[in-house]
Amino acid sequence: MENVQYSTWAELFKITARSHKVLHHIIPPANGKAKVPSTEDEKELWSTLDATVLSWIYATISNDLLHTIIEPDAMAMDAWNRLRDIFQDNKNSRVVTLEAEFSNTKMKNFPNASAYCQRLKTIADQLKNVGAPVSKSRLVIQLVSSLTRAYRGVGTLIRQSDLLPPFYKDRLMLTLEEAGLTKEAATGSESAMVAASNSDVDDGFSHSDQSQGRGKQSGNQKNGGRKSGGAGRGSGGGKQGRGGGGQKQQQSGQQPGQQWANQVPWGNFPP
């Protein structure tokens, strides 16, 4: 009773009964003239077929419904009518409730387009069961009027058609649009991830190049200092070497090339 799928079950059951030529065991003929078994063999056959149909009914309903309708020595038509009364009783109250639910069904309250369409179709079937069928055009209009912003393009296409497409076609259009939006969102996410990864790599190279440049500059300064100091110590020797070091300190404010030229005591070399 919670699933409210009586109409679907009843239709499938009637198809099965018709295919086995036992539909008259649950629904009287249209002309009202049912064939009455006369002989004992016909009575036995009719009883056997009726028990078979009754077992089909009991086997295809839920346990709570089974315990509600089951009675000793019941016939298939009795069980069929009890089920119909359960789902079609208090028609006026059911119509009011279902109409309100149908009008307030919004796509934003469902996880996907398929669930939204299925709910509208289920409510429309319930209204049909209680004698208030929903027209095909109204079903499509309700479907289109409650779409979310992402599906407004499809809704506009449906509304502007000269003839409103059938419900099943509208449902197909929505599900295809949903698949396209999902694919587009996935592609956008992948592109964003690739861009972020490239940005991280570029930043890494930039920091590495800057670090290498600073290291190279620092190394050159250190090597130049050691070279200058070595030249001063090697060329002067003794007090003159220390004097050259003092001269370097005094001229520390000069350019590196000038310091090197002043520290080399060319006049101390022998002729």
Arithmetic mean of pLDDT, 90-117: 91
What mean pLDDT, rounded, does the chain reach?
77
d(CA 112, CA 177): 11
H/E segment holding residue 134: none
Residue 57 identity (one-letter amino acid): I
Residue 107 identity (one-letter amino acid): M
* Contacts of 50 by beta carbon, 8 Å cutoff, 6+ apart: 25, 75, 76
Question: In 3D, which of 148, 155, 120, 145 has the Cα closest to residue 134?
Answer: 120
Angle subtended at Cα 88 by Cα 85 and Cα 89, rounded to the nearest 5 degrees: 70
H/E segment holding residue 6: helix 6-19
Angle subtended at Cα 17 by Cα 12 and Cα 20, rounded to the nearest 5 degrees: 130
- Which burial class, exposed, middle or buried, applies to 238 when counting CB atoms under 10 A from its CB (0-12, 13-18, 19+)? exposed
Each residue's pLDDT tens digit, 128-155: 878 889 999 999 999 999 999 888 888 8
d(CA 166, CA 158): 10
Q: Check pLDDT > 90 for residue 163.
A: no
d(CA 184, CA 190): 10
Each residue's pLDDT tens digit, 70-80: 999 999 999 99
Biggest alpha carbon–alpha carbon distance for the chain: 153
Confidence of residue 255 (pLDDT cuts 50, 70, 90): low
**Model pLDDT, residue 238:** 43
**Model pLDDT, residue 57:** 96
Q: Check pLDDT > 60 for residue 83.
A: yes
Each residue's pLDDT tens digit, 8-17: 899 999 999 9
Q: Is the pTM of this model over 0.75?
A: no
Angle between helices 113-129 and 167-236 (to 10 degrees): 160
Angle between helices 167-236 and 256-263 (to 10 degrees): 20
